[in-house]
Amino acid sequence: MAEAMVIDGKAFADALRARLAEHAAAFAHQAGRRPGLAVVLVGDDPASQVYVGAKGKACEAAGMASFEHRLPADTSEAALLSLVERLNHDPEVDGILVQMPLPAGLDEQAVIAAISPDKDVDGFHVINAGRLAVGQKGFVPCTPLGCMMLLKDRLGDLSGLDAVVIGRSNIVGKPMAQLLNDANATVTIAHSRTKNLADVVRRADIVVAAVGRPEMVRGDWIKPGATVIDVGINRLPPAEGKEKGRLVGDVAFAEASAVAGAITPVPGGVGPMTIAVLLRNTLVAAYAHAGMTAPAGL
């Protein structure tokens, strides 16, 4: 069997961001302002600082306004909630993202609940989760929505396909399963307690791995010709003489590539889609807040 097609998430995300920039310019012309994303960072977690910086640059590159709020690690929950409330009422802000994880002592669920569901471009608010569950329009978490875009681009109609999602987090696994179900796939959510996990995965036409364990999914778990979406990003211990270990996904890429029909790499697969979809959600929110109809295809 031929080697799997590598799904280039970076190229797809770049094309999406280019389209979003065109739509953002059109919105700014009509509305008299740019779509705006507020990002709140509490503390000095190095990875979070990198993510926040990347989001700000992506906003500006797409012609959107970026409002960064960097707060010290000892910020009180009351002060953080007060900032979120101000952003909820700020007409220049269409989307609000509070970067996780928060420092110890701050209640992440309380902070998420304080964000207006109509500005919750991360899609984590319980109201948006409920909207997704019952088939209403709302914001979907960025990573699973990006995965769906890649799947539909690769496969087209997903009706009747057998899909296995490994992982049941509120951020990826559960919304991913719901999106696949809404696309008329037959969906199994697998997890650490699933019996005979390899056998469950082997029957799947679509495998979405989002479990956070490096290279857990082996090549002999994959059905020949299946499409594999690897959400995981894990850094292995450094080899001798190296400062950093290499990045790998939740799937053993080389093994799976010999069997699958298509597969996302790590890095360069799902990762770039997350920020692109965050921009997409922000633009959708901007059109809604301005009382305008969003362009078809967003």
Catalytic residues: 55, 99, 122
In 74-97, which positions are buried (b, 16+ CB within 10 angstroms) versus exposed (e)?
ebeeeebbebbeebeeeeebbbbb
Task: Take residue 1 and report the two structure tokens written for it.
Answer: 């069997």
Task: Take residue 84 and report the two structure tokens written for it.
Answer: 């979120």
The answer to whether 107 touches 77, Cβ cutoff 8 Å, is: yes
Give me the DSSP letters along 183-246.
TT-EEEEE-TT-TTHHHHHHT-SEEEE-S--TT-B-GGGSPTT-EEEE---EEPPPPTT-SSPP
What are the respective helix, strand and coil percentages of the chain, to the nearest 5? Answer: 45, 15, 40
Task: Take residue 184 and report the two structure tokens written for it.
Answer: 């008329």
Is the peptide bond prior to 295 cis by the omega test (within 30 degrees of 0)? no
Torsion sign over Cα 151, 140, 191, 218:
positive
CA nearest to 281, candidates 146, 177, 111, 101: 146
